[in-house]
């Protein structure tokens, strides 16, 4: 299966997918760690894909989304963004709205705490 097919399969068979450097328990880059950290804290169930473990996926994901950086977050097959956009959406509450709209469970109190902590 080509990298593009593997990616497509991953993002369509998992509600939430984070392509990152490292894993959700062992992130290996500040930006990946930030996104994984927030998702973990908010109790979101997501599949993590360590792009460092597979160079083809690392390059393939950038082609797939036409986005040059890692991490990349997908919700219900849709590319949501990288670390900057994810952070803005978390702090503005747009992430809550998106997850609710897509039927993805998360800990609302945790999200509120993150915003309170960063305000």
Partner 1 sequence: MPMQAHEIEALLRKSFPNAQIKVDGDDGVHMSAVVIDESFRGQNRVQQQRAVYAALKGKMDGANGELHALALTTRAPD
Contacts to partner 1 from residues 100-119, by CB under 8 A? none
DSSP 103: T
| Interface with partner 1: number of residues (CB under 8 A) | 15
Distance CA 93, CA 60 (A): 30
Q: Are strands 72-75 and 47-50 parallel, antiparallel or unpaired?
A: unpaired
**Considering the complex, what minimum distance in angstroms separates the CB of residue 43 from partner 1?**
25
What span, in angstroms and rounded, lies between the C-alpha atoms of 59 and 78? 18
Q: Which residues are annotated as a binding site for [2Fe-2S] cluster?
A: 29
Contact criterion met (CB below 8 Å) for 51 and 115: no
Residues within window 59-88 making contact with partner 1, judged by CB under 8 A: 59, 62, 66-69, 79-82, 84-85, 88
Residues engaged in binding partner 1 (CB under 8 A):
30-31, 59, 62, 66-69, 79-82, 84-85, 88
């Amino acid at each position: 299966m080509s990298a593009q097919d593997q990616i497509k399969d991953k993002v369509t068979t998992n509600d939430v997918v984070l392509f990152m450097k490292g894993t959700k328990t062992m992130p290996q880059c500040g930006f990946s760690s930030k996104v994984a950290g927030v998702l973990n804290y908010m109790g979101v169930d997501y599949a993590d894909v360590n792009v460092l473990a597979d160079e083809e996926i690392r390059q393939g994901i950038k082609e797939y989304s036409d986005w040059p950086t890692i991490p990349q977050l997908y919700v219900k097959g849709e590319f949501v963004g990288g670390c900057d956009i994810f952070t803005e959406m978390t702090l503005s509450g747009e992430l809550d709205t998106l997850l609710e709209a897509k039927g993805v469970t998360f800990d609302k109190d945790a999200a509120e705490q993150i915003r309170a902590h960063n305000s």
